Amino acid sequence: MADADQTARTESQSFHFKAETKQLLNILIHSLYKDREVFLRELLSNASDALNRLRFEMVTNQDVLDPAAELAIHIRVDKDARMLMIQDTGIGMTKEEVIENLGTIAQSGARKFLEAAKDKSADLTQVIGQFGVGFYSVFMVAEWVRVTSRSYKPRAKAVSWYATGEEDYEVSPAEMNERGTKVEIQLKEDAAEFADEYRIKNIIHKHSEYIGFPIYVGEEKQPVNKQTSIWRMSKQSVTAEQYKDFYKQLTLDFEDPLLNTHIVTDAPVQMYALLYVPGKSDRGLFSLRREDGLKLYSRNILIDEYNKGLLPEHLRFVQGVVDSEDLPLNVSRETVQATGLMARLKKVITGQVMKELENLAKNDTEKYQTFWQEFGGYLKQGVATNPTEGESIYPLLRFKTNLHPETWSSLEDYVSRMKPDQKEIYFIVGDDPRSVLRSPHLDYFQKQGTEVLLLTEPMDSFMLMGLRKYKDHELKNVAQAEISEQTEDAEKQEQMAEADFSTLIERFKQVLGERVTDVRASNRLSQSVARLVDADGSLNPELQRVYKYLGKDYEIPKKIIELNPSHSILKKLLATDPNSELQTLVIEQIYESALLVEGLHPDPSSMTPRVQQIIEAALNSGKA
């Protein structure tokens, strides 16, 4: 085929590429594309563009060659000859257009690109964007390429373009009766896989499934691709089952999604999108989606399998597709140019997802609770890492509280239940929902009937770095809340004499030494024997937990231990021999139990021998 008929050869013209063309081809072939199969995506994209241009032309002009010809793409292979052919019935090209479109690589833009490539800090995508070279990815797999084209203009003649990827290309007259463009590729030996129909179909399903024109492979009468993109259909024409079926095809998830949103908009950006919130955060063993990110299309051509720039990090669990005809792309279509358009797309998509979640929370409490238990951690991360966006997430947050430990409450629910004179939103951090309810810090609030948020997940401490205020209410850790009066229970209980209590304080200081900064009486404990509080100037408790989760070597912060002067344990402890081992063991255990409740104990199992000693002493005392 390289030696075309002699008549055509006599009229052919040879064009000499610039000296740097070979270098440029090497860069395009070996540096800008990661997978060789994308050459077919580029050729199908070009064919789709040609068909779209013809369809637009025929809106106002019926004087075209073969007006009744189906707008379609045909692919044929010859496995033995290692030949691949892609043909479309699109707008076609004249000789001048062939030289302009396929010879662009020889223009001054090539030199400019190579000069920019020498500057390691240069943004090559901006230079590449000045000329379309996606077609040249075909030389990743081709020994030679012949493009034969005939324009839609009735009196235009067919023309052929031939190149091997070296310094020259040829343009000559050709025989072609039908309108459109045919690309014939002699495949390299190591690219013979692309002369297999099954392989070609797989690539189409992966990259070009939703091109808006039928793609036929071989002699089959049925198109390989779906043609109609569900996200480009009107919302009214898509059923709930179709939405679910597409989700399952997209992800191979056997469960229905929790919700979906279909976006069609022309302003402030032209976009089609179909997004889903999965039923579970775990993708599952057989999921097709192995990474976070949305499938990004331009004019039904997949350009990014996992685009992570269309949603903020805290919404990365969302699955789906986004398609925009306005999207500017780089040469390989594998990365999107950094433009304001991407920022506008992200803003629209994020806003719509947040709106859908707010509607779900408002209209279907049970379903939203399912969502929260699966994906609540992502939203908490968003509050921690995106302070500027945090306020938009606040209405979606859910908490359990000391007064409602079995149900989820929003911050608005909490505020609506606040006492008339309450100004702050109280919270407590702990290790798990059950143990935190036994925290001595809750004694006063439980007796007063004051509601407290229970924050028991590791991400909660990070979230509090961003969540400091809701509306006009500051968030306050109960461990640091100032209480001016004693609880009614504490007032009713008989306290030990001041002198005796001072003696006990000194004994605690003697045993605990530098592990605490002070020992003092508490005015807010009623049920608990002791609690740990921070000295002035210390890191707040939630930040201490953040350091604990992040730090490899974590030291127990030195705290003040507050004692309950009315507690029976302390009264009995005072009666024991101050020089006895038992008194020392009990003081140690009171302190380490307080550490355990705070979630600060570095090695809880180390308390076991001491607990056994205390049990043994108690049993021996019983025998006496």
Q: pLDDT-derived band of residue 253, with 50, 70 and 90 as boundaries?
A: confident
Q: What's the structural domain count of the chain?
A: 4
| Tokens linked to 504 | 């006990």
**57 & 157 share domain:** yes
CA 335, 338, 344, 348 dihedral sign is: positive
- Is residue 303 situated within a structural domain? yes
- HEC per residue, 319-369: EEEEECCCCCECCCCCCECCCHHHHHHHHHHHHHHHHHHHHHHHHCHHHHH
Q: Does 131 map to a domain?
A: yes
Q: Is residue 261 part of a domain?
A: yes
Give percent of the chain above pLDDT 70.
82
The count of other CB atoms within 10 Å of the CB of residue 30 is: 9
524 and 545 within one domain: yes
The verdict on 303 and 379 lying in the same domain is no
Peptide bond preceding 268: is omega within 30 degrees of 0, i.e. cis? yes
What pLDDT, on the 0 to 100 scale, is given for residue 415? 97
Say whether both 560 and 437 belong to one domain. Answer: no
Residues 508 and 471 in one domain: no
Q: Return the DSSP state at 169.
A: E
Phi, psi values for residue 106, rounded to 5°:
-90, -5
Question: Is residue 255 domain-shared with residue 125, that is, in the same domain?
Answer: no
Banded model confidence at residue 52, pLDDT cuts 50, 70, 90: confident
Question: Residue 620 and residue 105: Cα distance in Å, rounded?
Answer: 95
Q: Is residue 343 in some structural domain? A: yes
**CA-to-CA distance for 259 and 538, rounded, in angstroms?**
45
8 A C-beta contact, residue 257 and residue 277: yes
Do 137 and 68 lie in a common domain?
yes
Q: What span, in angstroms and rounded, lies between the C-alpha atoms of 376 and 374?
A: 6
Residues 63 and 167 in one domain: yes
Question: The tokens 């955060």 sit on which residue?
Answer: 281
pLDDT-based confidence at residue 538 (cuts at 50, 70, 90): low
Would the pTM count as exceeding 0.85?
A: no
Kindly report the CATH number assigned to the domain that includes residue 512: 1.20.120.790
Residues 233-249 have pLDDT tens digits of 999 999 999 999 889 87
Q: What is the pLDDT of residue 280?
A: 92
Same domain (yes/no): 492, 559: yes
pLDDT value, residue 472: 92
Measured CA to CA, the distance from residue 429 to residue 439 in angstroms comes to: 10
CATH number at residue 385: 3.40.50.11260
pLDDT band at 11 (very low <50, low <70, confident <90, very high): confident
- Domain match, 415 and 295 both: no
Domain around 176 = 6-217
Residue that finishes a domain, picked among 477, 506, 535: 477
Dihedral angle over CA of 20, 24, 30, 33, nearest 10:
180
Per-residue confidence (pLDDT) for residue 109, from 0 to 100: 46
Is 256 within the bounds of a domain?
yes
- Location of structure tokens 């690309």: 183
**Whether pLDDT at 8 is above 70:** no
Residue 374 has pLDDT above 90, yes or no: yes
Paired with 518 in beta bridges are 560
pLDDT tens across 407-455, in order?
Answer: 999 999 999 999 998 999 999 988 787 888 888 999 899 988 999 999 9
Task: Report which listed range, 284-293, 310-319, 476-485, is most confident.
Answer: 310-319
pLDDT at 31: 59
96: how many CB neighbours lie within 10 A of its CB?
11
8 A C-beta contact, residue 40 and residue 199:
no
Question: Model confidence over 460-474: pLDDT tens digits?
Answer: 888 998 999 999 999
From 363, 386, 410, give the residue that closes a domain.
Answer: 363
Question: What does the pLDDT look like over 321-342, one tens digit per residue?
Answer: 999 988 765 444 455 555 678 8
pLDDT at 550 over 80: no
* Cβ pair 183, 86 in contact under 8 A: yes
Are residues 411 and 557 both part of a single domain? no
pLDDT at 127: 38
Write phi, then psi, for 136 (nearest 5 degrees): -75, -5
Count of helices and strands (H, E) across the chain: 21, 21
**Within a domain: 273:** yes
Closest alpha carbon to 71 in 216, 246, 281: 216
Res. 115: pLDDT tops 90: no
Q: In this predicted structure, what is the pLDDT of residue 355? A: 96
- The mean of the pLDDT values for the chain is 84
Residues 356 and 273 in one domain: yes
**Do 561 and 521 form a contact (C-beta atoms < 8 A)?**
no
Examine residue 158 and state whether it is found in any structural domain, yes or no. Answer: yes
Which position has the token pair 């004994």? 507
What is the spatial distance between Cα 329 and Cα 296, in angstroms, rounded to a whole number? 11
Give the pLDDT confidence score for residue 102 in this predicted structure: 78
Query: 226 lies in a domain?
Result: no
Poorest-pLDDT segment among 77-81, 313-317, 343-347, 386-390: 386-390
CA distances from 288 to 88, 140, 206 (A): 31, 27, 11
Q: What is the CATH number of the domain that holds 248?
A: 3.30.230.80
